[in-house]
C-alpha cells in the first residue's frame, strides 16, 4: 500500500484556535466545558463546550454561517502550514459533519431556498469555491464516526493514485435542535462528563472544527506521522444503542491494525470515543478486551472538548498526532474509578513515553464504528 502522510493539522475549539495551542492548554488541564444558561438553546442550564458569542471569525460578512466559518478558519490555519496546490485537480477537499447548517430550520420557515441552503453539498460548494478547489468536494455524514470515516476516505483516495493531497476537515455546532435531541434520550449529563468512570451518567456536547492535510508525499523535515490503516463496521443492532458485545468495533480495530501491517503488540496508546454514556463506554471496553489491548493506555478527550459530533474524530486525531510527535499522552478528565465490567487501562494522569503507534476509535448512532492507526514514521 502507498504510504500516506500527515503534513498539517489544526483545531479550532473553545479551548484555542491552533493545534499547538490546543495541545498546550490540554497539558495544563484546561477544558472548554462550562455551565451555560442560554435559553435560546435550552430552557434549562446545561454543561457544554461552546464558543463565546462575541467570537470574531475571519470571514464574517461574506455570507458564511457559523458552521461554515469554523470550517474556513480551520482550513485556513492548516493551509498556512501545508504548502500545497489547492487549485490542482489532484488536490481534494473532504468535509465531515453530522448536522451542518441544521440550525437554519430553528428560526426560518422550511422553504425550498432554506432546504437548499441547509444541504451539506451547498456548504461544500461554497467552501471549495472560497479556497479555489477544482476537484469536486466530498461530504461524509455518518453520525459520530464522520471524522474518522473522512480520514479513511482520504487514505483510500490517495492510495488510488488519483490524488496527491487531501484536505480533510470537519465541524459541528451545538443548537437547540441538537441539544434537545440528546436530552430526549436522557443522554446529557448534569455535570461535566466522566468517560469510563463508575459514576458516569451521560455526554457533554461541544462544538469545534479540525483539519488534517494528508499527502502522498513525505514531508522533507520535522516529525513524520503516517495514516497507515483504517476500517469501518456496523453493529446492525439498534438505531441508538450500541452492540452489547463490542464485536463489531473490534472488527474495525482488527482490520485497521492488519492494514497497518503491525500486530496488536505494536499499539502504544488508544484514543477512545469515550462518550461517558453507560452503554458506549461498556461496549468500547469489551471491544478493547476482544482486541487484547486491555493493558494499553487509553484516554478519552470528551472531558476537554465535549462530544463535538462530526468534528470529534478529527479533533481527537489531531491530538493523537501531537501525542505521538511529543511522546505525551493526555489524561481523561472526569475519570476517577473504573466503571466498566471489563478492565481498561484508562489514563487519568499525563504520561510521557516512547510512543510510535496510536489506535483511534469512534462509534455512533445507527451502530456505526470506525478505527484508524497513526504511526510515528522513522
Output the pLDDT for position 185: 87
Instruction: Assess contact for 367 and 242: CB atoms under 8 A.
Output: yes
Output the pLDDT for position 62: 78
**Domains of the chain in sequence order:** 5-215 (3.40.47.10), 225-376 (3.40.47.10)
**Of 126, 330, 137, 155, which is closest to residue 231 (Cα–Cα)?**
155
Say how far apart CA 215 and CA 237 lie, in whole Å.
36
Output the pLDDT for position 2: 87
Looking up cell 477537499 gives 93
Helix runs in 119-165, H state only: 120-131, 146-159
**Of 338, 268, 333, which is closest to residue 302 (Cα–Cα)?**
333
DSSP letter for 180, please. H
What residues contact 74, with CB distance under 8 A and at least 6 apart? Answer: 10, 11, 12, 169, 171, 209, 210, 211
Helix, strand, coil share of the chain (percent; to 5): 35, 20, 45
Buried b (16+ CB within 10 A) or exposed e, 72-86: bbbbbbbbeebebeb
* 302 phi, psi to nearest 5 deg: -60, -25
3-state secondary structure labels for all residues of 313-371: HHHHHHHHHHHHHHCEECCCCCCCCECCCCCCCECCCCEECCCCEEEEEEEEHHHEEEE
Per-residue pLDDT of the chain (378 residues; tens, 9 = 90+): 789 999 999 999 999 999 999 999 999 999 999 999 999 999 999 999 999 876 666 665 678 999 999 999 999 999 999 989 999 999 999 999 999 999 999 888 889 999 999 999 999 999 999 999 999 999 999 999 999 999 999 999 999 999 999 999 999 999 999 999 999 989 999 999 999 999 999 999 999 999 999 999 998 877 899 999 999 999 988 888 888 999 999 999 999 999 999 999 999 999 999 999 999 999 999 999 999 999 999 999 999 999 999 999 999 999 999 999 999 999 999 999 999 999 999 999 999 999 999 999 999 999 999 999 999 987
What residues contact 71, with CB distance under 8 A and at least 6 apart? Answer: 95, 123, 127, 169, 170, 171, 209
Output the pLDDT for position 58: 67
What global pTM score does this model have? 0.97
**What distance separates the 2 farthest-apart alpha carbons in the chain?**
56
Torsion of the alpha carbons at 154, 157, 158 and 161, rounded to the nearest 10: 180
**Size (the chain), residues:** 378
Output the pLDDT for position 59: 64
Say how far apart CA 13 and CA 211 lie, in whole Å.
12
Amino acid at each position: 500500500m502507498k504510504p500516506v502522510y500527515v503534513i498539517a493539522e489544526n483545531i479550532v475549539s473553545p479551548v484555542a484556535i491552533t493545534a499547538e495551542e490546543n495541545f498546550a492548554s490540554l497539558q495544563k488541564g484546561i477544558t472548554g466545558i462550562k455551565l451555560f444558561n442560554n435559553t435560546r438553546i435550552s430552557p434549562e442550564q446545561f454543561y457544554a463546550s461552546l464558543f463565546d458569542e462575541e467570537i470574531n471569525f475571519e470571514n464574517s460578512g461574506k455570507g458564511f454561517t457559523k458552521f461554515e466559518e469554523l470550517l474556513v478558519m480551520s482550513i485556513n490555519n492548516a493551509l498556512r502550514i501545508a504548502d500545497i496546490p489547492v487549485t490542482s485537480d489532484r488536490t481534494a477537499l473532504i468535509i465531515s459533519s453530522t448536522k451542518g447548517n441544521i440550525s437554519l430550520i430553528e428560526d426560518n420557515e422550511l422553504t425550498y431556498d432554506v432546504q437548499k441552503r441547509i444541504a451539506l453539498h451547498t456548504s461544500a460548494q461554497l467552501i471549495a469555491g472560497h479556497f479555489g478547489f477544482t476537484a469536486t468536494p466530498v461530504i461524509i455524514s455518518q453520525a459520530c464516526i464522520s471524522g474518522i470515516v473522512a480520514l479513511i476516505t482520504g487514505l483510500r483516495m490517495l492510495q488510488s493514485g488519483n490524488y496527491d493531497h487531501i484536505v480533510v476537515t470537519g465541524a459541528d455546532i451545538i443548537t437547540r435542535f441538537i441539544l434537545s435531541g440528546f436530552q430526549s434520550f436522557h443522554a446529557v449529563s448534569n455535570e461535566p462528563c466522566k468517560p469510563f468512570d463508575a459514576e458516569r451518567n451521560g455526554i457533554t456536547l461541544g462544538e469545534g472544527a479540525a483539519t488534517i492535510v494528508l499527502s502522498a508525499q513525505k514531508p522533507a523535515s520535522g516529525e513524520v506521522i503516517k495514516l497507515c490503516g483504517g476500517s469501518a463496521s456496523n453493529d446492525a443492532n439498534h438505531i441508538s444503542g450500541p452492540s452489547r458485545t463490542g464485536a463489531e468495533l473490534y472488527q474495525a480495530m482488527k482490520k485497521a491494525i492488519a492494514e497497518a501491517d503491525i500486530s496488536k503488540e505494536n499499539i502504544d496508546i488508544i484514543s477512545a470515543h469515550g462518550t461517558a454514556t453507560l452503554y458506549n463506554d461498556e461496549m468500547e471496553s469489551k471491544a478493547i478486551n476482544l482486541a487484547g489491548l486491555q493493558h494499553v493506555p487509553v484516554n478519552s478527550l470528551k472531558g476537554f472538548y465535549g462530544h463535538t459530533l462530526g468534528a470529534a474524530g478529527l479533533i481527537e486525531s489531531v491530538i493523537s498526532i501531537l501525542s505521538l510527535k511529543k511522546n505525551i499522552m493526555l489524561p481523561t478528565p472526569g475519570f476517577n474509578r473504573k466503571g466498566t465490567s471489563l478492565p481498561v487501562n484508562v489514563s487519568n494522569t499525563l504520561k510521557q513515553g516512547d510512543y510510535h503507534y496510536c489506535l483511534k476509535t469512534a462509534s455512533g448512532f445507527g451502530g456505526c464504528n470506525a478505527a484508524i492507526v497513526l504511526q510515528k514514521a522513522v
